[in-house]
Amino acid sequence: MNKKSQAALEFLTTYAWAFLVIIIMIASLAYFGVLKPSKILPSRCTFGTELRCIDYAITYGTGSDGTFKLRLKNAVGEPITVTAFTVSTESPTAYSCPTTPATFTWSTDEARDLIWSGCNSAAVGFVKGDKAKVFVTIDYYLTKTSTTYSRQTSGEVFTAVT
């Protein structure tokens, strides 16, 4: 009976050492950035059905000289009036861009360039060359109605910081 117990213990110990070596290898690859998921994931820009994303860019800036650019197309099916924009990130530090696009009326199927400048890219942890995620919220209402019937759409941009 003792020989069976010893064989089972040696068997489990051998597998435990092999498992430990595999864990150390994966941890070292992750530490040195080989297994960084953000490098593998593709860049993307996703919004609701109301707006179609055409192009996007995040520019790195130290202090407050970063920019966030977004080109969207109105796919609502009728003209809208945009009243507010909000940008944010997953960082605990607020992503602030003092210069935001002005409110405007947006025609059907019209593409618009939206540019936020003076953004604090470095403060929120963006690194030049790495990928970053920015969340955008746009408040609007149909031009034929009034602000009483305001709507909101949200989207996210995930791309490399240039």
Of the listed ranges 34-38, 117-121, 131-135, the least confidently predicted one is 34-38
Q: What's this model's pTM, rounded to 2 decimal places?
A: 0.79
CATH architecture of 42-160: Sandwich (2.60)
C-alpha–C-alpha distance, residues 153 and 50, integer Å: 7
Domain map of the chain by residue range?
Answer: 2-35, 42-160
DSSP 113-156: EEEEEEE-TTTTT--TTSEEEEEEEEEEEETTS-GGG-EEEEEE
Q: What is the pLDDT of residues 99-113, one digit of tens each?
A: 888 889 999 999 999
pLDDT reading at 1 higher than 70: no
* pLDDT for res 37: 72
Give the number of C-alpha atoms closer than 13 A to the C-alpha of residue 30, restricted to the C-beta side: 7
